[in-house]
Amino acid sequence: MAESKHTPGPWVYRAATHTDWGDVNDASGDCLIAHCNCYLSGKSLDCHRKDGTDPAKANGLLVAAAPDMLEVLMEAEWGGTAIGGNMSCPVCFNSREYGHSPDCILAAAIAKATGSTEQFQPGQCHECKKVQNGVMEIADGRKLCRDCFLALKTREAADAEAKGETDG
């Protein structure tokens, strides 16, 4: 997965002197991350619900927790153990070697948080573009399904033979 470029955590929510708004800043207070309020076009809305909750504060606390949540998701991403000892995703259960299944919500959440704009979906072969389990990453970083991997090896062997690089 792509590494995030956000302001490093921890982030802190600080309520303003009145309870209609608050800010999320980095720990030093120097960097404003988000301003959480209940204003619409300069007009104050009723922020407090009948049950006493404050949506601006709840939103601010959620935003302030984002770096910690992303870190936990990224640490958990390949934390399971698959058959044969390969690390696996605890959500889609695919091994790291083959990548996430196309519908893996853990991979989708990390991609959303990091702004990943990967050209290919997890589990998609770079050659035939099919999305399937069993893609493997090769030395140049491409991911290939079994059929495309075998075709590549066959082409490489033919090229080597044509150049006289075979052992026999």
pLDDT at residue number 101: 74
- Residue ranges of alpha helices (H) inside the chain are 55-76, 105-114, 146-162
Confidence class for position 47, pLDDT limits 50, 70, 90: low
Picking from 168, 145, 166, 147, the residue whose alpha carbon sits closest to that of residue 157 is 166
Core vs surface per residue 138-155: b (16+ CB within 10 A) or e? eeeebbbbeebbeeeeee
What pLDDT digit, counting tens, does each position of 4-19 carry?
A: 678 889 999 998 876 6
What pLDDT digit, counting tens, does each position of 117-127 carry?
A: 554 465 677 77
Q: Which domains, from first to last, does the chain contain?
A: 11-76 (no CATH), 99-168 (3.30.50)
What pLDDT digit, counting tens, does each position of 139-153 carry?
A: 777 778 888 888 999
Taking the C-alpha atoms of residue 166 and residue 21, their distance in angstroms, rounded to an integer, is 72
* Residue 128 pLDDT exceeds 70: yes
Q: Which tokens is 123 given?
A: 């589990």
Taking the C-alpha atoms of residue 126 and residue 81, their distance in angstroms, rounded to an integer, is 26
